Amino acid sequence: MSELNYLSAAEVLKRFRDRSLSPVEYLDALEERVDETEPLINAVAETLFDEARAAAKAAEAVYTSRPSEARSLEGLPVAAKAEHPIKGKLFTDGSLAFADRIADVTHPIIDRIVDAGGIIHLRTTTPEFSCAPFTHSNLWGVTHNPWNLAFSPGGSSGGSGASLAAGTAPLATGSDIGGSIRIPASFNGVVGYKPPYGRVPAMAPYNLDTYCHDGPLARTVADCALLQNVIVGPHPLDVVSLRPKVTIPSSFEGLAGMRIAYCVNLGDWFVDPEVEANTRGVAEALRAGGAVVEEVALDLRREDVARAAEIHFSAIFGSIVGLVDDEFAELLTPYARKFAAMGRRYSAPGLFLEGLELEAGVYNVVGPLLERYDALICPTSGIPSLIAGDDYVDLSRSLDDLGVEIDPIHDTIMTIAFNILSRCPVLAVPSGWASNDVPTGVQIVGRTYDDATVFRIGAALEEIRPWGYQHGRYPRFLDANGVAASAAS
């Protein structure tokens, strides 16, 4: 591992500008790291290093002879979630059913990254159809968590999160329909942002789905803001994309005067004691930083949230997966087929209205709270991670060390409530580590369309309580015996 692999994107760009580092040299370091880590984590669906090197050489010429023309991401590699199509490249949705499909359009956020001088050097793995909070598929195999290979990096942007943690990319794209940016942020110890609905342009028809959000992942809050400011803004092909363009400030005041609520379980979600302790540690850090931080009780019921989400998914996402299942059932993963079955189950007349009423009930709980507080802090997931390669089709299982039986997804993952509350911005940041060496994380939930506040809180927390990358703590690639693999060296 080179020290270059864990530089922040901001530092890399600074070195490009002062010419102490060339874009080609940096790309070479990332490629070497891919060669080291991919046999262990399998986070890359496609490498684009030949094209990337040509772009890096062109960026090097800009910094050498025309530095005033350097764009905001000039020469900086960015890993793209494979769900984001690139014209002329494979567009498989992680499914054998579409193993040979070629994209005929490029996603707006990819266009914006390239227009800003960014270089797409990797495309990262997802679960099939991006419909799971873990990452493995029949097409790409199992993606592992760099901190502990026995566990998943989360999903559906799991390959992006794992690539950041492994040091193969400084920035990455993600998408989030039920937590798919925030879950990998938590499990990999990185930062992820679910922008409020409409802030970042999306592609039809999912741009019309209020649960859907495209957004950035990075290793620092500032880097996450850097990529968010590139991809944000109205787009001529997305009717819901918001005007005017709203960007994240480059600096923030401290926490003095802020009022922040925190809730460990949102109501009745299961939370592992280690996750709870790390969440309380975040609250204490924010209090030490000058904010008024108060623990609150919320009356969100996970059964209501889950039913609202299932009704919503059945109408759009689940029905689309169901059409694929009708034709290609023998090629699909068990979890994708289960998702398709959910779409068929929730199809009775009147359910759509019931779903809307349940969704309104979620905001009836959280909305008044956010009138009294600037933001809400809660865990991203009640457990540190999910097991790599498990389909979680049989969801009920025992956690022997705690003596309880839970559904490891619906009883623990706390993200989907904030897809229901889609206009609330949510920044996911690290909160610490569990005893299995896997990171834990919290969500910073803001008032509707108040992007800047969640970044202000995240930036202050990062300064008060820097996470591992700032202190030289990197993934150890633990194997099944708890022994560090060679990629960590």
Q: What positions carry a catalytic annotation?
A: 81, 156, 180
| Residue whose C-alpha is closest to residue 365's, from 353, 352, 350, 378 | 378
Question: What stretch of H or E contains 22?
Answer: none
- Report the DSSP pairing between strands 136-137 and 141-142: antiparallel
Assess contact for 170 and 162: CB atoms under 8 A.
no
Kindly state the tokens that stand for 186: 């938590």
The 8-class DSSP code of residue 21 comes to S
CB atoms near residue 400 (< 10 Å): 8
Are residues 143 and 43 in contact, defined by beta-carbon separation less than 8 angstroms? yes
Give the CA distances from residue 397 to residues 131, 299, 407, 439, in Å, rounded to whole numbers and listed in that order.
21, 25, 7, 22
307 contacts: CB under 8 Å, gap ≥ 6: 355, 358
Return the bridge partners of 397, or none: 406
Question: Which of 178, 179, 255 shows the shortest CA–CA distance to 217?
Answer: 179
φ, ψ for residue 121 (rounded to 5)? -105, -20
The label of the residue with tokens 């984001």 reads 84
Rg (CA), the chain: 21
- Residue 337, both tokens: 């087929």
